[in-house]
Amino acid sequence: MLSGSAALAQAPAAYLYSLSSFSGPLRDDGARVRVDAERDEVLVIYQNTIRVFNRSGMEFYSFGADLDLGQILDLAVEPGGDIVLLSYKDSRSLVTRCNFRGEPLGPIEIGGLPEGLAFHANRMVLRKERFYFASLAASSVIVTDAKGTFLRHVDLPSMMQPEERQRGGTEALGFSVDEEGSIFLTLPSVFRVYKIAEDGGLTEFGRPGAVPGRFGIVAGIAVDRRGNLLVADKLKCVVMLFDKDFGFVGEFGYRGPAPENLIVPEDVAVDRLDRVYVAQGRRRGISVFALAPR
Q: Compute the distance between CA of residue 261 and CA of residue 252 in angstroms, rounded to an integer.
A: 8
Q: Compute the distance between CA of residue 45 and CA of residue 52 in angstroms, rounded to an integer.
A: 9
How would residue 10 be classed by pLDDT, with cut points 50, 70 and 90? low
The whole-model pTM stands at: 0.94
Average pLDDT over residues 261-268: 97
Give the model confidence (pLDDT) of 133-178 as tens digits: 999 999 999 999 999 999 999 999 999 888 776 666 789 999 999 9
How would residue 4 be classed by pLDDT, with cut points 50, 70 and 90? very low
Query: Cβ(93)–Cβ(119) under 8 Å?
Result: yes
Averaged confidence pLDDT in the chain: 93
Q: What's 239's domain CATH number?
A: 2.120.10.30
pLDDT of residue 78: 97
Give the model confidence (pLDDT) of 206-253 as tens digits: 999 999 999 999 999 999 999 999 999 999 999 999 999 999 999 999
Is residue 1 predicted with pLDDT exceeding 50?
A: no
Query: Cβ(84)–Cβ(97) under 8 Å?
Result: yes
Which range marks the domain in which residue 105 is found? 4-291
Give the model confidence (pLDDT) of 23-65 as tens digits: 999 999 989 999 999 999 999 999 999 999 999 999 999 999 8
Q: What percentage of residues in the chain have a pLDDT greater than 90?
A: 90
Is residue 3 predicted with pLDDT exceeding 70?
A: no
How would residue 21 be classed by pLDDT, with cut points 50, 70 and 90? very high
Residues 6+ apart with CB under 8 A from 157: 138, 139, 140, 165, 170
Alpha helical stretches, state H, the chain: 4-10, 156-159, 162-165
Buried b (16+ CB within 10 A) or exposed e, 245-282: eeeebbbbbbbeeeebbbbbbbbbbbbeebbbbbbbbe
- Domain tally, the chain: 1
pLDDT of residue 170: 86
